[in-house]
Amino acid sequence: MKKRMTVLCLLMTAAVLCAGAAALAESAENTAGTESVESLESVAGTESVNGEAAEFETETEGFLGLANPWKDMTKEELEEVSGVVFGVPEEAENVIYRWMESDKLAEMQFTIGKDEYCARIQPAALEKGELLNISGIYYYWDHEEKITLGSCEGTLGIGQAGSEDWIELCMWYDIVPGLMYSLSDYTTEPNAASLAEVAKAVYVPMQGDN
């Protein structure tokens, strides 16, 4: 749903900009009347190079063409570049691994049944009891509780995202290697205990058995 909304917003922005460009071109034509085709091409966003019209990148194209900070990788490639490891639940399907170099953020996406999961790991220097939300999800939770994974302290929240959709988020911090973890889930059947079990499967202690 978020992806669809993002694409819709971008398309709406492009439409507004294109309409503005068309109005500008029409205004220039009415004002100048006798301007050359070459001048009109300049107004419309083209210029002549060696006798050939060469389009330049418009603001809309530049906006839509922003570089994607995420890089898809194999499990082995991600472990090599990040130094962290994701556990893969037995029931997981459609597993995708990604890496954001700028934030040193590792991600694993997967599905279990109809539910969509996203697990993340990022280095963080936190004090005992502190948590950092690296999930990118910010909700008012209808239910929130404290959890423990091994010796790691964390929280688990459940919030309604639609008439039938729910978002679940589990976060915990491993103070030994200094790693922050998050596991989010889009579901129609929220279950705190079930999410905690998936989190246990995803979590691989980086230094000994915690």
Question: Is 169 in contact with 117 (CB distance < 8 Å)?
Answer: no
User: What confidence score (pLDDT) does residue 60 get?
Assistant: 39
Structural domain harbouring 103: 71-202
User: What confidence score (pLDDT) does residue 53 get?
Assistant: 37
User: What confidence score (pLDDT) does residue 32 get?
Assistant: 44
Q: Can you read off the two tokens belonging to residue 3? A: 């992806």
* Number of structural domains the chain divides into: 2
Question: CA distances (Å), 42 to each of 37, 59, 67, 209, in order?
Answer: 9, 15, 27, 67
Question: CA distances (Å), 118 to each of 44, 111, 168, 190, in order?
Answer: 44, 9, 10, 15
Tell whether 178 and 79 lie within a shared domain. yes
Tell whether 115 and 152 lie within a shared domain. yes
Helix 37-44 / helix 2-32 crossing angle, nearest 10 deg: 150
Tell whether 37 and 87 lie within a shared domain. no
**Nearest in space to 39 (alpha carbons), one of 49, 30, 28:** 28
Q: Which residue among 23, 40, 64 closes a domain? A: 64
User: What confidence score (pLDDT) does residue 67 get?
Assistant: 87
152-160 vs 166-174, strand pairing mode: antiparallel
Tell whether 18 and 41 lie within a shared domain. yes
User: What confidence score (pLDDT) does residue 189 get?
Assistant: 92
Tell whether 56 and 90 lie within a shared domain. no
Q: Which residue among 10, 32, 64 closes a domain? A: 64
Is residue 210 included in any domain, yes or no? no
Q: Which residue among 64, 89, 104 closes a domain? A: 64
User: What confidence score (pLDDT) does residue 64 get?
Assistant: 60
Ordered DSSP codes for 10-49: HHHHHHHHHHHHHHHHHHHHHHHSS--HHHHHHHHTEEEE
* Tens digit of each residue's pLDDT (9 = 90 or more) over 12-49: 444 444 444 444 445 444 444 444 434 434 434 433 33
3-state secondary structure of 119: strand
pTM: 0.68
Tell whether 172 and 94 lie within a shared domain. yes
Residue 103 contacts by C-beta under 8 Å, 6 or more apart in sequence?
Answer: 69, 122
User: What confidence score (pLDDT) does residue 139 get?
Assistant: 84
Q: Extract the residue ranges of the chain whose pLDDT is less than 70.
A: 1-65, 207-210
For residue 154, give the CATH number of its domain. Answer: 2.60.120
Residue 164 contacts by C-beta under 8 Å, 6 or more apart in sequence?
Answer: 188
